[in-house]
Amino acid sequence: MTDLGGEWIAIVDDDEGVRSSTQRLLARACFRVDAYDGGERFLRAGASRRYDCILLDVWMPDLDGLSVLRALGAQPGPVAPVIVLTGHGDVALAVEAMKLGAEAFIEKPYRPELLLSEIRRAITEPSLRMC
Protein backbone atom coordinates (compact mmCIF):
# COMPACT_ATOMS: atom_id res chain seq x y z
CA MET A 1 0.00 0.00 0.00
CA THR A 2 1.44 3.27 -1.13
CA ASP A 3 2.04 5.66 1.64
CA LEU A 4 -0.52 8.32 1.35
CA GLY A 5 -2.31 10.50 3.88
CA GLY A 6 -3.84 13.92 4.28
CA GLU A 7 -4.84 14.36 0.62
CA TRP A 8 -8.01 16.30 -0.04
CA ILE A 9 -10.85 14.39 -1.65
CA ALA A 10 -14.18 15.84 -2.80
CA ILE A 11 -17.25 13.63 -2.92
CA VAL A 12 -20.15 14.95 -5.05
CA ASP A 13 -23.31 12.83 -4.68
CA ASP A 14 -26.96 13.70 -4.11
CA ASP A 15 -27.72 10.57 -2.08
CA GLU A 16 -27.29 11.25 1.62
CA GLY A 17 -26.51 7.60 2.49
CA VAL A 18 -23.86 7.25 -0.20
CA ARG A 19 -22.35 10.63 0.61
CA SER A 20 -21.93 10.19 4.35
CA SER A 21 -20.86 6.54 4.18
CA THR A 22 -18.22 7.33 1.57
CA GLN A 23 -17.04 10.29 3.62
CA ARG A 24 -16.67 8.03 6.60
CA LEU A 25 -14.85 5.38 4.60
CA LEU A 26 -12.36 7.86 3.18
CA ALA A 27 -11.80 9.48 6.56
CA ARG A 28 -10.99 6.05 7.90
CA ALA A 29 -8.42 5.76 5.12
CA CYS A 30 -6.83 9.00 6.33
CA PHE A 31 -8.07 11.28 3.61
CA ARG A 32 -9.53 14.70 4.24
CA VAL A 33 -12.95 14.80 2.67
CA ASP A 34 -15.43 17.53 1.63
CA ALA A 35 -18.89 16.36 0.64
CA TYR A 36 -21.20 18.18 -1.82
CA ASP A 37 -24.84 17.18 -2.38
CA GLY A 38 -24.95 18.32 -6.03
CA GLY A 39 -22.84 19.27 -9.04
CA GLU A 40 -24.03 22.85 -9.05
CA ARG A 41 -23.09 23.40 -5.41
CA PHE A 42 -19.68 21.87 -6.04
CA LEU A 43 -18.94 24.17 -8.97
CA ARG A 44 -20.29 27.20 -7.12
CA ALA A 45 -17.91 26.50 -4.22
CA GLY A 46 -15.16 27.13 -6.84
CA ALA A 47 -12.72 24.93 -4.90
CA SER A 48 -12.12 22.22 -7.50
CA ARG A 49 -8.41 23.07 -7.68
CA ARG A 50 -7.89 22.45 -3.98
CA TYR A 51 -8.60 18.72 -4.25
CA ASP A 52 -6.28 15.87 -5.06
CA CYS A 53 -9.13 13.75 -6.33
CA ILE A 54 -12.81 14.26 -7.07
CA LEU A 55 -15.47 11.51 -6.73
CA LEU A 56 -18.37 12.44 -8.97
CA ASP A 57 -21.84 10.85 -9.13
CA VAL A 58 -23.41 10.84 -12.60
CA TRP A 59 -27.14 11.02 -11.86
CA MET A 60 -27.93 14.12 -9.88
CA PRO A 61 -31.04 16.26 -10.05
CA ASP A 62 -29.54 19.72 -10.39
CA LEU A 63 -26.43 19.28 -12.56
CA ASP A 64 -25.36 15.79 -13.69
CA GLY A 65 -21.80 14.44 -13.48
CA LEU A 66 -21.03 14.77 -17.18
CA SER A 67 -21.99 18.46 -17.11
CA VAL A 68 -19.70 18.96 -14.10
CA LEU A 69 -16.88 17.25 -16.05
CA ARG A 70 -17.47 19.59 -19.00
CA ALA A 71 -17.41 22.62 -16.71
CA LEU A 72 -14.16 21.46 -15.08
CA GLY A 73 -12.59 20.87 -18.51
CA ALA A 74 -13.43 24.41 -19.49
CA GLN A 75 -11.57 25.84 -16.49
CA PRO A 76 -7.95 26.94 -17.03
CA GLY A 77 -5.08 25.11 -15.45
CA PRO A 78 -4.67 21.49 -14.37
CA VAL A 79 -7.68 19.68 -12.93
CA ALA A 80 -7.60 17.10 -10.18
CA PRO A 81 -8.24 13.52 -11.32
CA VAL A 82 -11.98 12.74 -11.39
CA ILE A 83 -13.44 9.32 -10.61
CA VAL A 84 -16.98 8.92 -11.88
CA LEU A 85 -19.44 6.89 -9.77
CA THR A 86 -22.77 5.66 -11.00
CA GLY A 87 -25.45 3.13 -10.30
CA HIS A 88 -26.03 2.44 -13.95
CA GLY A 89 -23.57 0.10 -15.60
CA ASP A 90 -23.71 2.01 -18.81
CA VAL A 91 -20.74 1.58 -21.14
CA ALA A 92 -21.72 4.51 -23.29
CA LEU A 93 -21.80 6.72 -20.23
CA ALA A 94 -18.36 5.48 -19.15
CA VAL A 95 -16.88 6.23 -22.56
CA GLU A 96 -18.44 9.67 -22.52
CA ALA A 97 -17.01 10.36 -19.03
CA MET A 98 -13.53 9.21 -20.11
CA LYS A 99 -13.69 11.44 -23.18
CA LEU A 100 -14.46 14.35 -20.93
CA GLY A 101 -11.31 13.64 -18.94
CA ALA A 102 -12.47 11.34 -16.12
CA GLU A 103 -9.65 9.31 -14.56
CA ALA A 104 -11.72 6.23 -13.76
CA PHE A 105 -15.25 4.87 -13.74
CA ILE A 106 -16.68 2.85 -10.87
CA GLU A 107 -20.11 1.23 -10.73
CA LYS A 108 -22.14 1.38 -7.54
CA PRO A 109 -22.25 -0.63 -5.43
CA TYR A 110 -18.49 -1.05 -5.43
CA ARG A 111 -16.06 -2.83 -3.23
CA PRO A 112 -14.54 -0.18 -0.91
CA GLU A 113 -11.04 -1.52 -1.58
CA LEU A 114 -11.55 -0.92 -5.30
CA LEU A 115 -12.56 2.68 -4.66
CA LEU A 116 -9.57 3.30 -2.38
CA SER A 117 -7.12 1.73 -4.80
CA GLU A 118 -8.56 3.74 -7.69
CA ILE A 119 -8.18 6.93 -5.66
CA ARG A 120 -4.61 6.11 -4.77
CA ARG A 121 -3.78 5.23 -8.34
CA ALA A 122 -5.39 8.44 -9.62
CA ILE A 123 -3.38 10.54 -7.16
CA THR A 124 -0.03 8.86 -7.71
CA GLU A 125 -0.19 8.13 -11.41
CA PRO A 126 -2.25 10.90 -12.88
CA SER A 127 -0.35 10.65 -16.21
CA LEU A 128 -2.14 7.40 -16.97
CA ARG A 129 -5.23 9.25 -17.91
CA MET A 130 -3.40 10.89 -20.77
CA CYS A 131 -2.88 7.53 -22.48
Partner 1 sequence: MQAALNDRPLARHHCDLKARFMTPLERKLPLDVRRRWRRGFMRHVPGNGLVILIVCIVIAAALFSIVRAVQSVSRSANAVSTSHRVINVGENLLSLMQDVETGQRGYLLTADAAFLAPYRAAIAKVAAERRALGALVSYPQQRERLAEIEVRIAEKLAITRRTIELARTGEIEAARAIVASGAGRLSMDRVRHAFAAFLDSESRLLERRRAEMVAAERRATVQALFAIFLTLGAGSLAIVTTRRTAAELAQRINEAARARRRFRATFDQAAVGIAHLAPDGVVLRANSQLCEISGYPRDRLVGSWFESLAHPDDVPAELACRRALLSGARERYHSEYRGIRADGSMLWMSVTASLVRDDEGRPDFFVSVVKDITGRKQTEAKLLSGEAQYRAIYDSAVEAIAVIDARGNIQSVNPAVQHVFGYTAEEMIGRNVAMLMPAPTAHAHDGYLDHYRRTGERAIIGIGREVEGQRKDGSIFPLDLSVAEWRSDGETFFTGIMRDITARKTAERALAEAEARYRLTQEAVRAGNWETDLASFQTTLSRESMRLFGFSGEQDGRFERGELSAIADRADGARARAQFERAVADGRRFESIMRIPLADGSSRWIQMIGQTQYDAAGKPVRMTGLNIDITDRQHAEQALRESEERLRSLQNEFAHLSRVNELGELAAAIAHEINQPLTAITNYMNVGHFALSMIGKGGDAAGPALVEALEVTDLAAEQAVRAGEIVRRLRAFVAKGTGSRRAERIDEIVDTAMALSLVDAQLAGIIVDRHRGAAGAMVEVEAIQVQQVLVNLLRNAIDALVQVPDSDVRQLTITTRLVEAGTFVEVMVRDTGPGILPEVMARLFEPFVTSKAGGMGMGLSLSRRLIEAHGGAIEVGSATGQGATFRFTLPLLTESLSDD
Question: By C-alpha distance, which of 43, 52, 122, 103 is closest to 75?
Answer: 43
Give the SS3 label for residue 83.
Answer: strand
Binding site for partner 1 (CB under 8 A): 15, 17-18, 20-22, 24-25, 28, 59-62, 64, 87-88, 108-113
Nearer to partner 1 (CB atom), residue 47 or residue 114: 114
Phi, psi of 82 (to 5 degrees): -110, 130
Q: Are strands 53-57 and 32-36 parallel, antiparallel or unpaired?
A: unpaired
CB of 42 to partner 1, least distance (A): 16
Beta carbon nearer to partner 1, 62 or 125:
62
Length of the chain: 131
- How far apart are CB 75 and partner 1 at their closest, in Å? 21
Classify residue 10 by its DSSP letter: E
Q: Which is nearer to partner 1, 5 or 17 (CB)?
A: 17
Comparison of 8 and 59: residue with beta carbon closer to partner 1: 59
CB neighbourhood size of 117 (10 A): 14
Nearest-approach distance from CB 78 to partner 1, in angstroms: 29
